[in-house]
Amino acid sequence: MQNAFKNRWVKIGAQAAVLTALILGLVTFVGGSKTVAVAIDGVNQSVSTRAATVADVLKDSQIELNGLDVVSPALDSAVADGASIEIKRNKTVQVNIDGVDRVVHTTGMTVADVLTQLDVDSNAEIAQVASLELATLSSPIDISTPKAVTIQVDGDTKNLETTAGTVSEVLTEAKVALGKNDELNVKPAAEVTDNLKVTVTRVETKKVTETEKIAHDSKSVKDAKALVGTKKTVAKGVDGERTLTYTVTLRNGKETAKDLDSKTVTTEAITEEVSVGTKPKPKPKPEPTKKTKTPGSVSSSWAALAKCESGGNWSINSGNGYYGGLQFSASSWRGAGGGKYAALPHQATPAEQVATAEKLRKNGGWGHWPACSRKLGLR
């Protein structure tokens, strides 16, 4: 009886030991479990785990990672109860920047996140809304960055930064209107590049009317009644006029071309008529033969004196104030009475000149002809 009682307590003690071990194991198991919050691209889930590190938690939760995914905290970090693990999945996004396609790897969630990652200028033009989630994208993110453009127009320089895609759009943005004939140094559809220079040449055409003189012609008409060498205007000539119309091209206000469109005679020129004499001139009558003045009854002394004074030329008028064969002055001629024969000595005959000279000799001797009378020995 005593042995039976003893065996019973041994059996109970063994059972108690097993139960205690089970309880302690359960407590230990329950005490090692953790609850961890895992957020994948902002979507949260709660995970119960006994894992010690972030990597183990993800492994236990069968969460696989891409090589470009970003995990925080690091995979080898210890995990405590209530910890949070954030996973940002890598996404491949098509981006077009100023016409150039590229692929961007990002862990961002929205278009704005990609713009921040690429450090896109805040003034850039984006085709999509910045808050658009990448998961909903159906086309590449289209980005136009600001570009410096210089426009030369109307004597002015416009400098602007623009996200316009073409030259035509830049001109619209700068409020530069083009006329139908205006010229650009680049094509309107050309793509805008940084530091682009656009030159606008204003082209204007206008009609210009001018008048031009038409010189009149002249023609000769024979006149048999007028003497040869005579001319007379019968009908006066009058210049005409024509009108010329041009198309003038101006570039930036300066004339560069002038094309003749038409010319019209508005006033006809009148031809001048001139009569020309054809009647022969009458032959001139022969002049009467002048009688040669001869010394006549002039004495040899007076003839010799005339030879010395004038070379024997009784009609000489050399323009020196002395006249005739004996070289009278006009006053001496008139004082001696020669005026009754002729106005001047050379116009009188030799005999008349000698008669007048005799009067002078009677009043003053041969001294009236000092050099020649002395040379001839007359005094």
| Domain definitions of the chain by residue range | 32-88, 91-144, 147-201, 206-279, 300-376
Quick count: other Cβ atoms within 10 Å of Cβ 92? 10
Q: Distance of CA 112 to CAs 70, 105, 127, Å?
A: 18, 14, 12
Give exposure, 168-183, as e/b (b: 16+ Cβ within 10 Å). Answer: bebbeebebebeeebe
What the block records as the tokens of 377 is: 């020995």
Query: Are 316 and 324 a contacting pair, CB within 8 Å?
Result: yes
Nearest to 78 by CA among 102, 98, 101, 51: 51
Per-residue confidence (pLDDT) for residue 22, from 0 to 100: 43
Give exposure, 254-286, as e/b (b: 16+ Cβ within 10 Å). Answer: eeeeeeeeeeeeeeebeebbebebeeeeeeeee
35 Cβ partners below 8 Å, 6+ apart?
46, 47, 48, 81, 82
The amino acid sitting at 328 is: F
Per-residue confidence (pLDDT) for residue 296, from 0 to 100: 54
Q: Which CATH number fits domain 147-201: 3.10.20, 3.40.190, 3.40.1350, 3.30.70?
A: 3.10.20
Q: Tokens 């071990």 correspond to what residue?
A: 21
Q: Tokens 């830049």 correspond to what residue?
A: 170
Tell me: domain 206-279, CATH 2.20.230.10, correct?
yes
Q: Which CATH number fits domain 300-376: 3.40.190.10, 1.10.530.10, 1.20.1250.20, 3.40.50.970?
A: 1.10.530.10
User: How does pLDDT run along the chain (379 residues), one tens digit per residue?
Assistant: 444 444 553 455 555 454 544 443 433 344 468 999 898 988 898 889 999 998 888 888 888 888 888 998 998 999 999 889 989 899 889 898 888 898 998 988 898 888 898 888 888 889 888 888 887 888 899 888 888 999 999 999 999 999 888 999 999 989 999 999 999 999 999 989 989 999 999 999 999 999 999 998 998 888 888 888 888 888 898 999 999 999 999 999 999 999 999 999 999 999 999 989 888 888 765 544 333 344 456 889 999 999 999 999 999 998 889 999 999 999 999 989 999 999 999 999 999 999 999 998 998 889 889 899 899 888 7
User: Domain 32-88 is classified in which CATH homologous superfamily?
Assistant: Beta-grasp domain (3.10.20.30)
Per-residue confidence (pLDDT) for residue 295, from 0 to 100: 46
SS3 140: coil
Domain 32-88 shares a fold with domain 147-201: yes
Strands (DSSP E) contained in the chain are 34-40, 43-49, 70-72, 84-88, 91-97, 100-106, 125-126, 141-144, 147-153, 156-162, 183-184, 196-201, 203-214, 218-227, 231-235, 240-251, 254-267, 272-279, 322-323, 328-329
Q: Distance of CA 123 to CAs 95, 99, 146, 171, 368, Å?
A: 17, 17, 7, 19, 127
